[in-house]
Structure 1
Amino acid sequence: MRLPIVLFAALMLGGTTVVPPPSTDPLFAAGQGETRGVLMLIDGRVAQKRYAPGYSDANRFISWSMAKTITAMLVGELVADGRLQLDAPAPVAEWADDARRRITLRQLLHMASGLDHTEVGEPIENSDTNQILFVGGTQDMAARAIAKPLEAAPGQRFEYSSMTTLILSEIITRTLTDSREPRVRAAAYRRFAEERLLRPAGITTAFLEFDGAGTQIGGSILHMGLDDWGRIGTLLLDGRAADGTQVIAPGWLAFMKAPSPTNGHYGGQTWLNTAGADDALFPGKGPDTTVAALGHLGQYVIAARGTVPGTATPRSVVLVRLGKTQDDQLAAVRAALGDVLDPLVE
């Protein structure tokens, strides 16, 4: 049975009918796992919005690692305020007396801290991230992440790690408040996120989760409605909300979207479509400047700016896919997203 389309737009702009965008059917097909919601924005307008049965605007959807990109946006606000410095040693007091004191904020954002973090262990229960999120680290996740020793020189190699982003969340919290009271710490973080990011972007459904110490689980867990995930994608285009408000400073967004020294397909807590290797987001599809927030089990917020294919007409596209797809099917999800994106913008 064909899944219901909440909105499928053949937009009328200035009296001219725009050719409808490609169907999102491939994203709901067999082999895609469980796609729960898809949103497509073209030049800021909703072109398609579609839910699987049982899901609607009433739902908030878990971020998984898409939260990392939002954490980086918040770090950028503190850099803009002069309260954090990108190339200064990360302000982590526990590292002051050993070699970890050389780790910079930039290296943490680039996943190149050199800390001995294991995102996916063998067997899976040996993953540091799983242990901290779901087993024995829930009362103070950042403390467990901070305590890890170096296994490589800072800045030497890329190693994707949710624990690294937990440290960034803890740095944000310590910058905002000296309190060690969990409720005070969580309130300070939530208030800052609301005032500097969520409210200016028009986001109303965000629910942030915190550990027992009041640290936002900034590498893995927050929840938002489908439309608000689209608003995050809109910010990734040029840092502006739909009403034109500049939410993210252009220089900081440029940093987030620039290839890091140790991984040309990763910027500041953001994935890139840079050409030159098979591990680009969508090899051979979409503009090289396409970026995305990605999350476990197939969460995607994709932002692309370029031109209408075959023309010089500027176009921007935001494509959101939320759901639950196991690892062995994720390649098919990414391929389908690339197929939907490619005819829209180059």
Structure 2
Amino acid sequence: MITKKAMLASAVLAMLGGWSLTQAAGQGATAAPVPAPRFGAAPDPAIAAETLPPLPALDPAVKARADALFADADAVGETRALYVLRDGKPIYERYGDGFGPDSKLISWSMAKSITAVLTGFLVADGQLSLDGPAPVAAWQRSGDPRAAIALRDLLHMTSGIEHVEVGDPVWKGDTVDMLFGPGAQDMAGFAEAKPAVARPGELFNYSSATSVILADILADTLTPSPSPEARREAVRDFIQGRLIEPLGMTSLTPEFDAKGTMIGGSIMHATARDYAKFGEFLRNHGVVDGQRLLPESWMRFMLSPSPADAGYGGHIWLNRQRPRGADIALWPDRGPNDLFACIGHQGQYIIVSPSQRVTIVRLGITSDDQFPALRRHLADLQEAL
């Protein structure tokens, strides 16, 4: 039986990224699929094609592998945007029908890496400590084991907190409860109330709730006010001054809950071009136009493996072998060792290959069973470059 809560959660998931009630509930043909919306400005495809700038001639093998991400939709799902840069300059740009360079598309978990960079700015400013106790008021009571959790543990997804990213069925997970259920009004309060089940650094547990805790810490650091509006404005101003303006990411739009906490684990919006600017920022290790904005030490931290999962760094995926039984994230058997990526639900990718001087952005709608084919296509494209 599909409960009212399940229907609400899956319907909202559908609205945000193209899920259907059928997919979320696992009920086969008993529920009609919900069509995915078009986020942001979605120009007529003919107009979009006319306004795309001319690009240099591309190796036919590279173009064929890029085009295959659109042509092979039955295997990889719907590709809405594919944008490829070499040495910071576009060499391939294409959009699905109804989308264009001005279309703002959802980040899903690519937002986690943006949250990590924002945290890095505050660490560099001396306002937060990577290895000091995470400043979460709810954890500071005497005898609370969560008081030992450091920012490093949260960023490595090794806090030891009992978070369930995706339940079985999906609506029994903490992510749905936090985003669309009882935790939606105060997502950080929901996430921070969970108990510890392991010591910090001991257990890898990928969790969007963890990223919301980091976003709560950011807001608390930037303003002492509990006012939701003050928290939103403080974080927006910080992002504007430290990320949007220096990188030119003018379309970046973070979302907030009712308490004014940024939904730093899953819900931001931006154009493919602006996601690529973030990827280039990471590829250049925090340097923009010759100016260092993020310390090299922070980039080294983000790209260092989590002690409990070599395939994950500081809120970013690494092209390393993961522990036995863990889901495949990238393609360590094929790609360069220095390759890393921001990865989001349903196949959102910012792929950075420093040794190739390449950044790839792919945005779209891919179902779980299509992910192996999507990874193969993306690995083929990266390899051809």
**Structure 1-normalised TM-score?**
0.91
Contact 1:285/1:341 (<8 A) preserved: no
Unaligned runs of 5+ in 2: 1-45
Q: Which amino acid aligns with 1:317?
A: V
Counterpart among 67, 90, 101 of residue 134 in structure 2: 90
| Equivalent position of 1:69 in the other structure | 113
Aligned residues: 328
Q: Which of the residues 70, 78, 84 maps onto 1:40?
A: 84
Calculate percent identity across the aligned residue pairs: 45
Tell me how far apart the structure 2 counterparts of residues 277 and 120 of structure 1 sit (CA, whole Å).
Answer: 19
CA contact (8 A) 1:7 1:49 kept: no
The residue number in structure 1 matching 2:3 is: none
Partners of 2:322 and 2:138 in 1: CA distance: 39
**Matched residue SS, 2:211:** helix
Distance (whole Å) between structure 1 residues aligned to residue 286 and residue 212 of structure 2: 26
Partner of 2:291: 245
- 3-state SS, counterpart of residue 287 of structure 1: coil
What CA distance in whole angstroms lies between the structure 2 residues aligned with 1:25 and 1:71?
A: 32
The superposition leaves residues 42-100 of structure 1 with CA deviations (integer Å, 9 ceiling, x where unpaired) of: 11110000001100122101000000000000000000011101111100111012111
Task: Give the structure 2 partner of residue 218 of structure 1.
Answer: 264
Deviation at 1:194, TM superposition (A): 1.0
Q: Does the 8 Å contact 1:71/1:168 carry over to 2?
A: yes
Counterpart check, 1:272 vs 2:318: yes
SS at match of 1:116: coil
2:29 paired residue number: none
Q: Structure 1 136/179 Cα, relative in aligned 2: closer, same or farther at 3 Å?
A: same
Cα distance change, pair 21–235 in 1 and its aligned pair in 2 (3 A): farther
Amino acid at match of 1:293: C
Distance in 1 between the 2:252 and 2:359 partners? 19
Report the equivalent of 1:254.
Answer: 300
1:157 paired residue number: 203
Q: Does the C-alpha gap of structure 1 residues 280 and 118 become closer, same or farther in structure 2, counting only changes over 3 Å?
A: closer
Q: Which digits, 9 at most, give the CA deviation of each residue in 1:135-160, with x for residues without a partner?
A: 22221100000000011111101000
User: TM-score, normalising length from structure 2?
Assistant: 0.82
Runs of 5+ unmatched residues, structure 1: 12-17, 307-314
* Cα distance in structure 2, aligned partners of 1:241 and 1:59: 27
- Structure 2: how far apart are the matches of 1:10 and 1:336? 22
Please show how residues 62-211 of structure 1 align to structure 2 within 5 Å.
62-97=106-141, 98-211=144-257
Residue type matched to 1:84 in 2? L
Partner of 1:340: 381
Partner in structure 2 of residue 312 of structure 1:
none
More strand by share: 1
Aligned twin of 2:347: 298
Q: What RMSD over aligned residues (CA atoms) do the two structures have, in Å?
A: 1.8
- Find the counterpart in structure 2 of residue 14 from structure 1: none
User: Using the alignment, how far apart are the partners of 1:71 and 1:121 within structure 2?
Assistant: 24
Shift of 1:112: 0.3
**Distance in 2 between the 1:90 and 1:59 partners?**
37
2:372 paired residue number = 331
3-state DSSP class of the match of 2:163?
Answer: coil
2:62 corresponds to 1:22: yes
Q: Does the Cα contact within 8 Å between 1:44 and 1:242 map onto a contact in 2?
A: no
Counterpart Cα distance in 2 of 1:137 and 1:280: 28
- Offset, 1:302: 0.5
* Residue 246 (structure 1) shift: 2.2
More helix by share: 2
Residue type of the partner of 2:361? V
Q: Distance in 2 between matches of 1:127 and 1:228?
A: 31
